[in-house]
Structure 1
Amino acid sequence: MPKRPFEHTALTKFVYRRLLKLKPVGSQGEIAEEAGFVSPNMMSMLRSGATKLPVDRVPARLRSCSSPAFGAGASGR
């Protein structure tokens, strides 16, 4: 089994671009915390494609991407 089975998914591309865009406003750890993750490593694993997003985390993840503190919207634009 590959180490990064989800490497080429739309989610990994979205997370990568969004984290780059949010870098000046908040750390990866702050974004992970707002999304409800205990460890900022989960954001790294999502970005690299090592894991997929747990379904129960989707609403919090979208809020963390679209909150006024971290950016303009979940669309990544």
Structure 2
Amino acid sequence: MTYIIAEPCIDLKDSACVDVCPVDCIYTEDEDNQYFIHPDECIDCAACEPVCPVVAIFAEDDVPEEWRSFIDLNYEYFGLTR
């Protein structure tokens, strides 16, 4: 299981999650409007979840229904499928 960054992160891009990630698996480009967690690199440590100021990070199985589309979006960002 990986962690997913959902809608509350859009256009905010607070880097608190990046700063605490022990494996540097959270990515973004300047033109992106949010961060993405690489599902193959994430070690499921959950360090990122409590530091998110807008409660945008969820374990994949716990993503709220209204933001479930962000799961596929996250995988697609890295050219992966789940």
| TM bracket, shorter-chain basis | 0.3 to 0.5
Query: What is the TM-score with the length of structure 2 in the denominator?
Result: 0.35
Structure number with higher helix proportion: 1
Query: What is the TM-score with the length of structure 1 in the denominator?
Result: 0.36
Structure number with higher strand proportion: 2
